[in-house]
Amino acid sequence: MPAPSCTEEQFITIWNKLGGAAAVARELKMHERCVHQRRRAIEARTGVKLEVRKTQRHYALTDHPAIKNISVDTGTVLIGSDAHYWKDMVSTAHKAFVRFCADLKPAAVILNGDVLDGATISRHPPIGWEGRPSLIQELEACKDRLEEIEKAAPKGASFIWTLGNHDSRFETKLASTVPEYAKIHGFHLKDHFPRWMPAWAAWINEDVVVKHRYKGGIHAPHNNTINSGKTMVTGHLHSLKVSPFSDYNGTRFGVDTGTLADPYGPQFSDYTEVNPVAWRSGFVVLTFKDGRLLWPEVVHVIEEGAVEFRGQIIKV
């Protein structure tokens, strides 16, 4: 449809009042594409930056007590997930994660769910007489591995643990069995890991959302960023991949952080029946420059004791 007559000054006034292309398009009875074209032309000619106004709903969401907000201007954030730590098992991915904490000196370290496996408190029945560690053995293994990460990371780094479905087994079992013990110290998973901030999600610079899971299926990373409108970093699928998506708002990413465990480790081998799995062991490095997220990078385990990163094979 033809656009009504509107001067640059009027367009700038309307944009600053409404703060977004869709609202301006409705006001001026223009296609959104035409609004974006004119906005870019005005910005290029005048040097005036026409900002997109953040909605109140966005701020209400990031103020939720179960969301941890992080601000990173220039620096890195390491994100690993699905470690499923078991007694006496230290994976190559975990060793690399510890090393990268020391080498990259991240501003924040995020374990994006399923740090605890909870094999003996699963809702699923045991398969035959499979050997599974006790819950106390799993907790001790988690404490040992997380302490290694804490020691390697730089002083002042934030430690965040976003809850995964396996992690939730700890409190779900207690809540369903002995609800009378609610709020007693030790009955919450966070009581055992005081340096790690528990959360449903972590938001970085209000642009990147880190949580254990959102959409399901093999295309989840792609669907996550489309449906959330944000770069979204999830675990759960163990797939270790980056799926870019671009529209008029620019490019954002759906990221799966893989697994810090061995994909064919004993945590998984019985219920997968040792079938081939499209899982990859590794983790993700997010790098920020002047507040902008650069292309997310993966650290991928290629063999026992070795990972690949930025074109190099690194022994750990």
157-173 pLDDT, tens per residue? 999 999 988 888 888 88
Structure confidence at residue 128 (pLDDT): 63
Encode 172-229 in three state secondary structure. HHHHHHCHHHCCCCCCCHHHHCCCCEEECEEEECCCEEEECCCCCCCCHHHHHHHHHC
Global pTM reads 0.80
pLDDT for 64 equals 80
Dist. CA 145–CA 147, nearest whole Å: 5
Does residue 262 surpass a pLDDT of 70? yes
Q: How confident is the model at residue 175 (pLDDT cuts 50, 70, 90)?
A: confident
Q: How many Å apart are CA 88 and CA 138, to the nearest integer?
A: 10
144-154 pLDDT, tens per residue?
999 999 999 99
Maximum mean pLDDT: which of 50-59, 161-170, 243-252: 243-252
Domain layout of the chain by residue ranges: 8-53, 65-315
Homologous superfamily in CATH for domain 65-315 = Metallo-dependent phosphatases (3.60.21.10)
Reduced DSSP (H G I as helix, E B as strand, rest coil) percent helix, strand, coil of the chain, to 5: 35, 25, 45
Read off the DSSP letter of residue 132.
-
Q: To the nearest whole percent, how much of the chain has pLDDT over 90? A: 55
Asked whether residue 271 carries a pLDDT value surpassing 70, the answer given is yes
* The pair of three-digit structure tokens given for residue 120, joined into one six-digit string: 């003996």
- H/E stretch holding 74: none
Give 56's pLDDT tier (boundaries 50, 70, 90).
Answer: very low
The amino acid occupying position 147 is E
- Burial grade of 3 (CB within 10 A; 0-12, 13-18, 19 or more): middle
Average pLDDT, the chain: 89
Residue 130: the pLDDT is: 67
- Cα 253 to its chain centre, rounded Å, is 11
> Tens digit of pLDDT for each residue in 72-102?
999 999 999 999 999 989 999 999 999 999 9
